[in-house]
Structures are given as structure tokens and as C-alpha cells.
Amino acid sequence: MSRFGNGSAIAAGRVRTAPPSDGGAIAQRRITAMPAMPDRFWGKVDKTDGCWLWKAAIGDDGYGRFNLSGGGQIMAHRMAYKLVKGEIPEGLVIDHVCRNRGCVNPWHLEAVSQLENLLRCPGWPGHRTHCARGHKFTESNTWLWTDKRGRVARYCKACWAVRHEIARKKKRRPADESI
């Protein structure tokens, strides 16, 4: 009896099926996308069964802050999203599905448009689908403005264009002023 023959019986209980070839590729891509930071990042997170709570700095707006080693800060939940789910598509914001701003659980985070994010907010008058003049608040007809306190206002572009046109006609300046 060869020792390999015996070994195969033992190995049968231990050896797991090999992961599919593309699974390995995904794993590798994740590793290269992650610099040495993750331990330092996840060490500041208290992973409960539900929300993952950020234990380090929290800003006035209730969102966690993470200090990057190269200088500068990033919103902790945005970092968590990037580390686990990948880059945030341009123009999208990260919405907390759980409504807990201090949470960095990537599975509670979703990349959505800013308008979508507002419509999901319980305090936002999302039931108003049209402006005072009856223009529909679509993605393309809506401007969002965030003030210093983080409050967001919604403007109708169609109305804005009309107002801008009126203002422009009112103060027509002499041509020589346009230097």
C-alpha cells in the first residue's frame, strides 16, 4: 500500500472544491485595489449584527471622518463603500439605507443620484413632484443646492431659466464694460 493511497482518503475529507477561475481573478483585483489602509480603517469600526458603527471622529453632520495617511480626510462611509464595493460612480452620492449616518456597513450603503437620495429622505417633501409653476421635478430639470449647514434646496431649472432671462433683460449693460 503506498502512502499516497492512504493520503487520498484523508485528503477527500479536507480538500474543498477549487474556486471557479474567475473567482480568483476577482479576489486578486480586490487585493490590488486595497493599499495597507484597511486594517487601520476597519479597526475603527464596531461591527454589530446590523449597523457597523464608526468609533473614530464624527463630524457635525453626523457622518464619520477618516484621516488618510497621505493627509486629508474622507467620509468614513464613502471609504467603506470604496473598499468593499469599489469606486463611487461619478455624480452619485452614498445613501444610508439604514438612515444611520454613523454606520459604515457597506451593505447599508447604496450609490444613488443626489435627487434620489433626497426623495428617500423622510424629511424631504418628496410628495411634491412638480414646482409651484407646474414643471416636473425630473433629474434633468432639478438643481440641488447644499448650503454650509448641509441643508439642501431644490430648484426648478425651467423656472430658473425664466427668471435669469428676465434679470438679464433688466440690466443690459453698455458693451464697453465687458472687458
Residues of this chain that interact with Zn ion (CB under 5 A) are 51, 98, 100, 103, 105, 108, 131, 133, 135, 156, 158-159
Closer Cβ to Zn ion, 94 or 131, answer by number: 131
**Whole-angstrom Cα distance, residue 52 to residue 18?**
32
Residue 143 φ/ψ, nearest 5 degrees? -110, 140
Closer Cβ to Zn ion, 94 or 103, answer by number: 103
Q: Which helix H or strand E contains 115, and what residues bound it?
A: helix 114-120
**Shortest Cβ distance from residue 18 to Zn ion (Å)?**
35
**Whole-angstrom Cα distance, residue 48 to residue 45?**
9
**Shortest Cβ distance from residue 168 to Zn ion (Å)?**
18
Closer Cβ to Zn ion, 73 or 129, answer by number: 129
**Shortest Cβ distance from residue 68 to Zn ion (Å)?**
23
**Shortest Cβ distance from residue 133 to Zn ion (Å)?**
4
Closer Cβ to Zn ion, 4 or 145, answer by number: 145
* Nine cell digits for residue 71: 493627509
